[in-house]
Amino acid sequence: MSKFKDLVNYCLNCTVKPCRKGCPLENDIPKFIKLAKDGDFLEAFSVLGETTVLSSICGRICPFDRQCEGNCVRRLKGEPVQIGKIEAIIGDKAIEEDYPIFRDMKEINGKKIAIVGAGSSGLTCAAFLKKLGYSVTIYEKYDYLGGIISHGIPDFRLDKDITLKNLNRIVDLGIEVKYNFELGKNITLKELKKEYDAVFLAFGANVSNMPQIKGKNLSNVYGANELLESKKSLDLKNKNVIVVGGGDVAMDMARTAKRWGGNVLVIYRRDENQMKADINQINLAKEEKVEFLFNTNVKQIIKKDNISKAYLVTNDGFKFIYPCDYVFFAIGSKPNEKINKKLGLKLDVDGYIKTDKKQMTSMKGVFAGGDLTGTERTVAHAARSGRDAAYNIDLYLTKK
């Protein structure tokens, strides 16, 4: 516990709270740290419960250097407060001691909400709607909770036991989950609209962006998002692997491929300091002997007689060939336009569902949030979108 005391005592409890401004969920960071410093873990968790229901998860996987810790005053002259670690410890304590997620919950008001997708946005929306007194049913296409949290983030970065406990506590608020229901296949938006007072769409946008180059459709070329989501593994022992991208998914894919036995090279089109991945994940990848090549693009992938090569070009025009057995692209993701178009909702030019300022789509009573609407792709941003949607749905149904 002395180490934990060192963590919380390092916080200056700033009045301005720049760390809170850097948090997508706007967690009251100095307040919950101060309470934890005083030994009041229950109250510290209650403060977190005002803004988030994913403390044990966000406390482990958020890109802290770009969010809360990146805005910490302590960072100006040294290391920032380890906000994520403190949040995770409090969240884990809440699971262990079975602290209530919310301090107060309203009585059931008789109105029903359907949520499509049990990822961070959908589950957060469900929790806050339940807090507001609504009956909530989640429709999830898989037979498990979590979405990207469960199938997109490798086990070595996020403990699955902790994840499951955190997510199950949300469902235990009294939320019904119907598994193996996929919108457009065995349930329609029209059916949901008819049965429920409001609908929240939160099924994500996890189709990998693929470059318009020759060789992108070869059998040894994958989109990292789909491969991680499939939960299957490849035998990459002594294989040369290229991972293209500079974000968190690229780091997850590179470190996963390393665990599968591959000789991994990450190729990024810009300077290292422009990578969007969390700096800690980049450093861990380097420690695991993942190689990096910056200011370089893959222009073509060639396969002949079962031998594959990547045609690479540096930003200053140098061209060369790199032998590779597999190529994984992690250069962003997009929504499934085929599914989105079938919904009959207005989409923007990139295929994301269009919403107004209150997150309502072009269909009255149908709301959307998270990656599906083009929010920044972190768990915290998606969760914030889900929380906002809960309050917007409440405003809509109470005619406020």
Residue 374: how many CB atoms within 10 A of its CB? Answer: 17
Distances (CA, A) of 190 to 119, 198, 337: 22, 12, 18
Q: Look over the chain and give the mean of its residue pLDDT values, rounded to a whole number.
A: 95
d(CA 156, CA 54): 18
pLDDT of residue 34: 97
pLDDT digits (tens, 9 = 90+) for 116-172: 999 999 999 999 999 999 999 999 999 999 999 999 899 999 999 999 999 999 999
Tokens at 316, concatenated:
């200053």
CATH for the stretch 2-97: 1.10.1060.10
Examine the pLDDT at 62 and tell me if it is beyond 80: yes
pLDDT digits (tens, 9 = 90+) for 185-203: 899 999 999 999 999 999 9
Quick check: 183 and 339 in contact, CB under 8 A? yes
pLDDT of residue 58: 97
State the DSSP H helix or E strand holding residue 334, giving kind and residue range, or none if neither: strand 333-334
Residue 187: how many CB atoms within 10 A of its CB? Answer: 17
Examine the pLDDT at 306 and tell me if it is beyond 90: no
Mean pLDDT of the 81-87 span = 97
**pLDDT grade, residue 1 (50/70/90)?**
low
208-332: same fold as 112-205+335-397? yes
pLDDT of residue 337: 80
pLDDT digits (tens, 9 = 90+) for 343-399: 999 999 989 999 999 999 999 999 999 999 988 889 999 999 999 999 999 999 998
Tokens at 48, concatenated:
């977190």
d(CA 168, CA 16): 35
Q: What is the residue extent of each domain of the chain?
A: 2-97, 112-205+335-397, 208-332
- CATH fold, domain 208-332, is FAD/NAD(P)-binding domain (3.50.50)
Examine the pLDDT at 14 and tell me if it is beyond 80: yes
Cα 215 → chain centroid: 30
Q: Which residues of 198-219 are buried (b: 16+ CB within 10 A; e: fewer)?
A: bbbbbbbbbbbebeeeebeeee
**pLDDT grade, residue 312 (50/70/90)?**
very high
Distances (CA, A) of 389 to 43, 62, 231, 330: 26, 21, 30, 29
* pTM for the model: 0.93
| 173: nearest Cα among 124, 140, 139 | 124
H-helix segments, the chain: 2-9, 18-22, 29-37, 41-48, 55-61, 83-97, 120-131, 148-151, 160-171, 189-195, 224-230, 248-259, 279-287, 337-342, 379-397
pLDDT of residue 89: 97
Pick the CATH number of 112-205+335-397 from 2.60.260.20, 3.40.225.10, 3.50.50.60, 1.10.3720.10: 3.50.50.60
pLDDT of residue 400: 65
d(CA 306, CA 97): 56
